Chains A and B, each alone.
Chain A
Amino acid sequence: MLTLSGSALETGLTAPALFRLTTVPDLPAPLRAQRAFLMRGLGDVPEGYPHYLVFDRDPIPANGAAFTRLDEKFAYLSDDDIVHLSPHGHVRTLFRSASNHNSILLTEQCNNYCLMCSQPPKRKDDRWIVDEVRQLVPMMPRTTKSLGITGGEPTLFGDDFLDIIRLCKSWLPTTALHVLSNGRSFADVGFARNYAAVDHPALTVGIPVYSDDPSRHDYVVQEKGAFDETIRGILNLKRFGQRVEIRVVVHKQTFERLPELAEFIARNLVFVDHVALMGLEMMGFTRANLDALWIDPIEYRDELSAAVAVLRAYRIPVSVYNHQLCLINPDVGIAYVKSISDWKNEYVPECDGCARRDECGGFFSSGVKHGYSPSIKPFPHRHPAVD
């Protein structure tokens, strides 16, 4: 796991600031003024950067410029990454140019309270984030392929949320934007219309639907009436021609009616652009509610097969994420996506010698740490391994 937020060893900053990093010593002067210089070991210290980052025991810039000293946890930082530094030495990495999964957490507030939330909501007013994002978006490289907007529930900021989308369209016109929302705000036709009116060229909103049974969905998100608003939100979004992805986390409370949910989607929401069926991540509330949520994926493999078959029959694009290959039926393979995190795929000791490890997404590091299926079984090699 990357450390995205932590403390600096020391800092000479006097006011909080966002910096885009560079390791290029001879940038033209006008660009230097907009970057922090990332020092690696010894070497000449170029002049003209407003701030410098140094690691561990490396020497400080001899020119006496302001610098922040980081420890090796931040060694991953590289060109075009964007960090936020505070005068108290707090460091937050907001953008990593090497990643295809950058996202902006717009708020930690939410109007749902999902049993398995990986980012437990907080009540605190955090509208300050919007201002930071207004600064951040124009600093991002224009070549960024994709960007997520998450929360909490990012739409809770209403017009400010729409402003951020507009800002992304203006500054990052070729960056695909993926919003994660519970969809309830879009039940308001006016809001859905305004969202569509932004007319972003590559915008998708991912909305969770956990059951075809309203009470079951409401229970999972711990909010009465949420299902009704979410469905009406999806209808409004599609009415205005917006791209919508339905996201289903499969666990003990949702697996039983998974085939019925697929039929519900096929019958009522056949026009959605994608359905993602996802395994449980051992993060946030999930660990508190483990007894209520955990089920060995091998036990719902038939429900998963049935759901994939229905969605595929209705020509609804479907992907299965966050699952281990040895726990799904072969007929799910066609929808299987080898993707766990943007950092690296992790495996467990049981995986040793598995013939299909290259195709398998493996585990979240949270899974490796906090528990995973006892049914992991490596695929045998067709021929006994030589050596």
Chain B
Amino acid sequence: MTEKFLPVQDYLPDSGTYELLPFKFEPVGADEVILTNLTGEFLYLKREKLDSLVSHRLAPSDADYRALRARHFIRQPNDRATLDLLALKTRTRLSRLANFTNLHLFVVTLRCDHACHYCQVSRQSEDRQSFDMSEETADRALDLVFRSPNPAIKIEFQGGEPLLNFPLVRYVVEKAEQRNRVERRDLQFVVATTLSMVTDEILEFCRVHGIHISTSLDGPEDLHNRNRPRPGRDSHRKFTDGLKKARDVLGYDAVSAVMTTSPASLPRAREIVDEYIEHGFDSIFLRPLSPYGFAIKTKSYQAYDAGSWLEFYRAGMDYIIDLNKRGVRFVEHYSSVILKKMLTNDDPMFVDLMSPCGAGISAVVFNYDGDVYASDESRMLNEMGDATFKLGNVHSDSYRDIFASDALLSVLEDSFASSAPMCSDCAFEPWCGADPVFHHATQGDILGRKPESEFCKRMMGMIRYLLDVMRADPQAKSIFMTWVNS
């Protein structure tokens, strides 16, 4: 090296001059910790390095020092870009909150041809008047929908079985499109249906109006039929026929499926994934069952705890990772939500994994009778006689009454995980969220006592699983990186 160039040591900062930036840590194994910062970046450190770090003794020549500075856990007093980047990433993470409500759920009827054990709300009634949404109610709900400042508006039709009240679906779609000629929002429609009653006419309407279908598939035929009893015990066959028809008319990408994990599903993670692959899906949502509602009330159906669900989740994920390694691209959505927050600055704003919680922010529910709820779970809770999360009614309350109601604002205020007891110190908090409805239902407290919370147990389990996998298996980490950017 020629004289006029200085050696690398000359560019290292002076010892002990660094500043700590906000971070939290959590033990990993006996002698290590994982550090996270407020934008969800993380790294591992030996415990003794953590001690040096916080007592400003970590040497600038230390490899850990370099990593900590590069990932914005520390900075030199002159590092201005560090703060600019942290601010930018934080803003990016929270930017979607400002858009306010995106997803508007219309419960167009409670009637259903299925009698699923875990369903909290459906009715087998033939009585149209009592359980169907009326045009008048829909009009009022649409008034509120277009009050949302969000440039993107998604209207999802739910039930019961929304196809049982398809005339109202048509009505809402046409009305919304009409209004949107002036509003010019990015307007999308989804119908959540088992597809058992789908007709060519319905599909044609969906095609013309670009409506997507979200359907249900719980697993192999016996499991699916057991979870979803209907007269004739043919739910799975109806699904298969309906799926083919829907894809023929609407196109492959317009049809997705959701899965509910019943206790009978727990030992069958692989088979469930295989069932999804067999039907040509390239993703699954390993969704845990809400531990309240009809399932508990009837006692006939035992729910399960976080531990058993995690076993199911891990088995499913192990298999899914293996599939991806063999070249079959297949995504698990629940993990993706968490991974997105670990590996990018984007918060996908998934209702249960947001802070503050997504109640009213990411989704709002218009029930058949005009009642407005903060989430689907809130509506189920109301069915059990608990109206805590009922925000109002489209017939009697204004937009302001509903979206500035105490019922909503206090939930939002109480659901900032970063200020919740235990969560505020938890290193996993940037990746986690708040589920006030769940904690209210199970513990009678919106904030929840996290040491006893099944939600917390589940989140910790998932997060530790994902961290371990990424650390032990770089190939799996690469696969996750493609998931979070798709």
Contacts and interface: CB of A to CB of B under 8 A. Distances in A.
A313 B81 contact: no
B69 A213 contact: yes
B485 interface: yes
A314 B485 contact: yes
Interface in A228-286: 228, 231-232, 235, 253, 257, 260, 264, 266-268, 270
B384 interface: no
Contacts of B485: 313-315
B182 interface: no
B1 A215 contact: no
A115 interface: yes
A310 interface: yes
B8 A219 contact: yes
Interface string B363-399: 0000000000000000000000000000000000000
B69 to A, nearest CB: 6
A234 to B, nearest CB: 9
Contacts of A214: 69-70, 76, 79
A38 B89 CA distance: 58
Interface of A: 113, 115, 212-216, 218-219, 222, 224-225, 227-228, 231-232, 235, 253, 257, 260, 264, 266-268, 270, 288-289, 291-292, 309-310, 313-315
B85 A260 contact: no
Contacts of B251: none
A228 B80 contact: yes
A232 B84 contact: yes
Given A115-B5, A218-B11, A222-B5, A268 B478 contact: no
A212 B70 contact: yes
Interface string B73-97: 0001011111011001100000000
Contacts of B345: 267, 270
29 contacts: A213-B70, A214-B69, A214-B70, A215-B11, A215-B66, A216-B8, A222-B5, A224-B11, A227-B81, A228-B80, A231-B85, A232-B80, A232-B81, A235-B81, A235-B84, A235-B88, A266-B344, A268-B89, A270-B344, A270-B345, A289-B1, A289-B5, A291-B1, A292-B1, A292-B5, A309-B481, A310-B481, A313-B485, A314-B485
Nearest to B478: A309
Given A215-B11, A228-B81, A289-B1, A267 B69 contact: no
A218 B10 CA distance: 10
Given A222-B5, A228-B78, A266-B481, 20 more contacts: A212-B70, A213-B69, A214-B69, A214-B76, A215-B60, A216-B66, A222-B6, A224-B11, A225-B78, A227-B81, A228-B82, A231-B85, A232-B81, A266-B344, A268-B85, A289-B2, A292-B1, A309-B481, A313-B478, A314-B485
Contacts of A228: 78-82
Contacts of B8: 215-216, 219, 253
B70 A260 contact: yes
B84 A267 contact: no
Nearest to A228: B81
Contacts of A215: 8, 11-13, 60, 66
Contacts of B80: 228, 232
B431 to A, nearest CB: 15
B99 interface: no
B17 interface: no
B35 to A, nearest CB: 15
A233 to B, nearest CB: 9
B295 to A, nearest CB: 39
A220 to B, nearest CB: 9
A225 B79 CA distance: 8
Interface residues of B, number: 34
A37 B345 CA distance: 60
A310 B1 CA distance: 33
Contacts of A292: 1, 5
A110 to B, nearest CB: 14
B41 interface: yes
A83 B461 CA distance: 70
Nearest to A313: B481
B67 interface: yes
Contacts of B419: none
A314 B481 contact: yes
A167 B4 CA distance: 38
Nearest to B13: A215
Contacts of A314: 344, 481, 485
B308 interface: no
Contacts of B405: none
B70 A264 contact: yes
Contacts of B478: 309-310, 313
B344 A267 contact: yes
Nearest to A290: B1
B180 interface: no
B78 to A, nearest CB: 6
Contact of A288 (B2, B7, B88): B2
A215 B59 CA distance: 13
B203 to A, nearest CB: 33
A304 to B, nearest CB: 15
A172 to B, nearest CB: 34
B482 interface: yes
A292 to B, nearest CB: 5
A80 B4 CA distance: 42
B70 A313 contact: no
Nearest to B475: A309
Interface in B15-72: 41, 60, 66-67, 69-71
B482 to A, nearest CB: 5
B254 to A, nearest CB: 23
Contacts of A225: 78
Contacts of B78: 225, 228
Contacts of A253: 8
B376 to A, nearest CB: 32
Contact of A219 (B11, B69, B76, B88): B11
Contacts of A268: 85, 89
Contacts of B481: 266, 309-310, 313-314
Contacts of A232: 80-81, 84
A235 B88 CA distance: 9
Given A267-B41, A289-B2, A313-B478, A260 B79 contact: no
A213 B66 contact: yes
A231 B72 CA distance: 13
A179 B103 CA distance: 44
